[in-house]
Every structure is written in C-alpha cells, then in structure tokens.
Amino acid sequence: MKKISITEPNAGSDAAGLRTRAVQDGDSWIINGNKVFCSGAHLPGTVIAVMARTSEDKHKGLSMILVPNTTEGVDVRKLDTIVRRSLGTTEIFFTDARVPVENIIGQPGDGWTVVGSHLEWERLSLAATYVGNARTALDDTIRYTKDRTQFGRPLSSFQVLKHRMAEDECEVEAARLLVYSAATKLARGEKALKEVSMAKVFAAKTAFRVATNGMQALGGYATLPEYDMERYFREAKHGMVGGGTNEIQHSIIAKQMGL
C-alpha cells in the first residue's frame, strides 16, 4: 500500500513551504522532519511517498521519496480525529531516517511536478466520494422521513421537508455531473484543473449541506452514533478541508478564469 505525505504542521495550503529535508549521503537519503494528516500511514506494509526539500528553491527544490513505514527513524502516530475513524490519519516524525537513493521518484526537484499531476486525480476521486456520501445521506433522510410519523402523518408529507429534499436532489445530481465532466476531460488526456476544482468544491459543499439537512430532519436521533447521519455530517465537514480547502479550490478556479 502506498500513501502520499505532503502536509506539515506549518505547511498546509502552502505546500511548497514545507520544512522536511532530505540530504543525500552516498547511496542514501537521510530524512528529517515532521508530517501530519497522512491517512493510513500506520497500516502494515505501507510505503509513504514523502515530499521533502532537497534544495532551497521553493518549488524546484522539492522531491518525492518513497519511505517504508518500518524504516528506522520513522515514528508514525495515529491521531484521534472526529473523521476517517475506520482508516485513521497520522502524524509522522522523521529522525535521520535513511532510505536508498534510488527511492526517489523521478529526479531531485521533480516533486512539485509529481504532486501537481497526483492532486488532480486525488481531488477528482475525493469529489466522487462526496457525491456518493451526499447520495447516501439523502437516501437515509428520505427513508427516515417516510417512516417517522408526527402529528398523525409521515414527516415526508410536510412541505418544508419535501422542498428541502427536492433541493438536495438537484444539487446531488449537479455535483455528480460536474464530476463526470471533469473525469471525461482527464480520460481524454486533457487538462482539467478548473473542472476538477469545481467538482471538488461543489461536491464538498453539497455533501455538507445534505448532511446538515439530514441532521435537522432526524432531530435528536441524528446525534446518536447508531444513526449514520452524524458520521455523514462529520465526514462532510472534513471534505471542505481535506485534499485542498474550498478556499484554495476557489483560487484555482479564479486563476483558470484569468482573474
């Protein structure tokens, strides 16, 4: 299993500001630094693709190096987060971690280019998961409101809830089509930076809105762990940050618009 690790405590949206360093020593790279929010890095058999600084140039000084999580000097600690509990996300400490020089992906300084191509696919896959999460949250809301009776009739018969769910249905479908549009361009080998960011930001907002409406429809039961809605709500909020914040996506879209 392979995981990519870019984010650091002081380098999130400004990924090129990372401080983890890799210094070549003969036939090895020696890595020192600290990474955070690398999901699944603690799992057995995992190899971490670590973005590290190999020279002082902000972008061209970045390289991607493969580091098995069993490497001496690598300390992986699972974080107690409110999201991704089934997989888990981690903080990683590198203290003179030594790996073979051939573990570098491409050439020294290729890291920023490698990440650029990776993030486009990662964000598209995230957008697709948000659409799936929103669809599931809405389906659960519909099922609950049909089964739950108040004032002598099902909740689904009340106009305020019907209209809210109808609006959710429109947005879920729109998010799905945005994902398909971006995926089609990438499948054709075309650039889709704007389309991917549009799909991700819209799908993340949709998942959060649908889950929020679901929480409202389920009322007090939505706060209980035996109902899945509270999990949809937590995961949807994470979607507005993970893989590039909504604000960063807006900046990418605006740049592609020539603004």
What's the predicted TM-score (pTM) here?
A: 0.89
Q: Of 23, 29, 31, 32, nearest to 54 (Cα)?
A: 23
pLDDT of residue 15: 84
| Run of H or E including 125 | helix 111-147
For the chain, where do the domains classified as CATH 2.40.110.10 start and end?
2-109
pLDDT of residue 136: 98
Q: Is the pLDDT of residue 1 over 80?
A: no
> Residue 155 in contact with residue 182, Cβ under 8 Å?
no
Q: What is the mean pLDDT of the chain?
A: 94
For the chain, where do the domains classified as CATH 1.20.140.10 start and end?
112-256
146, β-bridge pairs:
none
Task: Give the other-Cβ count within 10 Å of 223's Cβ.
Answer: 12
CA end-to-end distance (rounded Å), the chain: 40
Tokens of 2: 């392979």
pLDDT of residue 2: 74
User: DSSP assignment, residue 99?
Assistant: E
pLDDT tens by residue, 192-220: 999 999 999 999 999 999 999 999 999 99
Range 112-256: architecture per CATH:
Up-down Bundle (1.20)
Spatial distance between the Cα atoms of 203 and 8, rounded to a whole number of angstroms: 26
* Pick from 66-75, 115-124, 175-184: least confident: 115-124
Sequence-distant (≥ 6) Cβ neighbours of residue 45 within 8 angstroms: 1
Spatial distance between the Cα atoms of 204 and 210, rounded to a whole number of angstroms: 10
> Residue 202 in contact with residue 180, Cβ under 8 Å?
no
3-class secondary-structure state, position 2: strand
2-109 placed in CATH 2.10.109.10: no
> Residue 156 in contact with residue 145, Cβ under 8 Å?
yes
